[in-house]
Structure 1
Amino acid sequence: MQTAIPNLFHGSLERGELDASVHAVKVGSDLVLLDLATDGYLLVPECGDVRVEGATVLAPMDLMLELAAGELLQSGQAQRHRAPPPAIPSRRLPEASVGRPTVADVATFAMLWADTARRKPTLQDLSRRVSGRHGRRDDLEAIAARVSLFRRMLPYAPTVGACLFQAELLLRFLNAADLDAEWVFGVRVWPFLAHCWLQVDEHCVSQSPDTLTIYRPIMAI
């Protein structure tokens, strides 16, 4: 869900820390916030000289007061450092030549698909569920081969869902082979769109990097 915060007076910049459940990115002259607690996006159009560095926001006092009133800023003890999301990936995975999926591959895919399809989690639920995962990101050939197997089986699934469903399913399929990738969420404005994908450094795992150039990353898990 997207909500717009009215345009605000631009004064001197104040410093604030986003709540642990809130992520933000400046897109052109607009500020977009993702609030995991409400599972929704907020748009501040023409926000002026606002700067976002991880969980730190530098913005005019009026905007800070609006964010505080919406319970988007943290109160009390400071949270731990939050690294900014990675840049948009610019490269594809290496080509992978794999045979037909094995019985074990099909069984794993089917089990993960059934478990993923039966739930309708919020972004906060997903973030909590996958934040403690393990897996290797240093073997691009193995990741590419696993992704190729996934793409062979996906068309046979009863439904493939939208980007959120496919990204979760692919991430879990990678994790089942002790492999991993970063799950990145991005936005664009006018018109507003939200999207997510998997990447390892500058390599896009889940799709062609050419399709992501319109987005600005807002969160990675």
Structure 2
Amino acid sequence: MTGPRLHAVRGPAGAAVLDLATGRWTILDPIAAGLLDWPTAPAQRATLIEEATARWATTGADPGLVRAGLTAAAADLDRLRAGRPVHHSPPGPPLAVRFTPDARPAPHVRVAAVAALAAALLLLRFLPIRHVVAVARAVLRLPGRPARVRDAEAAVAAVRAAGRWWPGRVACLEESLAAHLAGALTGRRVHWVLGARFAPHGAHAWTETERHVVGQDENDRLWPYLPVLTVPGSNR
């Protein structure tokens, strides 16, 4: 039986790969990103490496160095994949980014946010990320409807307010998961998204609804991040 699948997203600057078995991110340069689409059968792999080597040789590159580099990169990817499927997140239209929300959550949203933040902190502290994702999907069985932007902003604002009382780390991963859980508890479903960017390299987690990123930190305006895994979503 294969382990949890890999989730990947491609961009002009390369690819980002999230391993759900370990929670680790791997950022690939454009050449290595292209190898994600190559077959793993040795004969087919060797043929493609020779074809690529010949193409690079026409630009003046040393064929031996190119062949060795491609072979090593393909072997690294094989170790990362370990026979597991790779889910590629499809490209989507640009998102509107809304920064720190100016919202006054209702009392029931504030109560839900406290419970959701406590749950998020416990889940991320004690469970592997693949199980955290499973829980995030499971709470969507609660009755509710898709959140509007103002609903999501209220959830993020309430979680952020609750986080000020927590002496430990409440960063984007904890905050966005808590907002997702708080939305489910109040019947307003929001998307929990894990993604990455390439310039500079970095992983991120955020809350999304109605094609809006909600509650992005004012100090982090280097967008776009590309979504790698979305809950809810088809990339299971």
TM-score by length of 1: 0.66
Q: Cα offset for 1:22? A: 0.1
Q: Please state which structure has a larger fraction of its residues in helix.
A: 2
* Contact 1:67-1:73 within 8 A present in 2 as well: no
Does the C-alpha gap of structure 1 residues 85 and 74 become closer, same or farther in structure 2, counting only changes over 3 Å? same
* Contact 2:6-2:17 within 8 A present in 1 as well: yes
Residue of structure 2 in register with 1:187 after alignment: 196
Residue of structure 2 in register with 1:43 after alignment: 27
Residue of structure 1 in register with 2:64 after alignment: none
Identity of matched residues, %: 20
Q: Secondary structure at the match of 2:145?
A: coil
Q: Secondary structure at the match of 2:22?
A: coil
Whichever residue aligns with residue 149 of structure 2, its letter is L
* Contact 1:21-1:35 within 8 A present in 2 as well: yes
1:89 aligned onto 2:95: yes
- Pairing 1:1-221 to 2, within 5 Å after superposition: 21-47=5-31, 50=34, 57-59=36-38, 61=45, 66-74=76-84, 84=90, 86-87=92-93, 89-92=95-98, 98=104, 101-102=106-107, 104-119=108-123, 120=125, 121-134=127-140, 135-189=144-198, 191-207=200-216, 211=221, 213-221=223-231
Does the C-alpha gap of structure 1 residues 127 and 212 become closer, same or farther in structure 2, counting only changes over 3 Å? farther
Q: Cα offset for 1:73? A: 4.1
Which deviates further from its counterpart, 165-174 or 180-189? 180-189
Residue-pair matches, total? 192
Does the C-alpha gap of structure 1 residues 204 and 29 become closer, same or farther in structure 2, counting only changes over 3 Å? closer
Does the C-alpha gap of structure 1 residues 196 and 212 become closer, same or farther in structure 2, counting only changes over 3 Å? farther
* Structure 1 gaps, min length 5: 1-17, 52-56
Whichever residue aligns with residue 111 of structure 1, its letter is A
Q: Secondary structure at the match of 2:112?
A: helix
Looking at structure 2, the residues matched to 214 and 153 of structure 1 have their Cα atoms a distance apart, in angstroms, of: 28
Whichever residue aligns with residue 176 of structure 1, its letter is L
Looking at structure 1, the residues matched to 147 and 187 of structure 2 have their Cα atoms a distance apart, in angstroms, of: 11
Q: Cα offset for 1:96? A: 6.8
* Contact 1:184-1:197 within 8 A present in 2 as well: yes
Does the C-alpha gap of structure 1 residues 97 and 182 become closer, same or farther in structure 2, counting only changes over 3 Å? closer
Q: Secondary structure at the match of 2:95?
A: coil
Whichever residue aligns with residue 114 of structure 2, its letter is A
Whichever residue aligns with residue 165 of structure 1, its letter is E
Looking at structure 2, the residues matched to 25 and 166 of structure 1 have their Cα atoms a distance apart, in angstroms, of: 23
C-alpha RMSD over aligned residues: 3.7
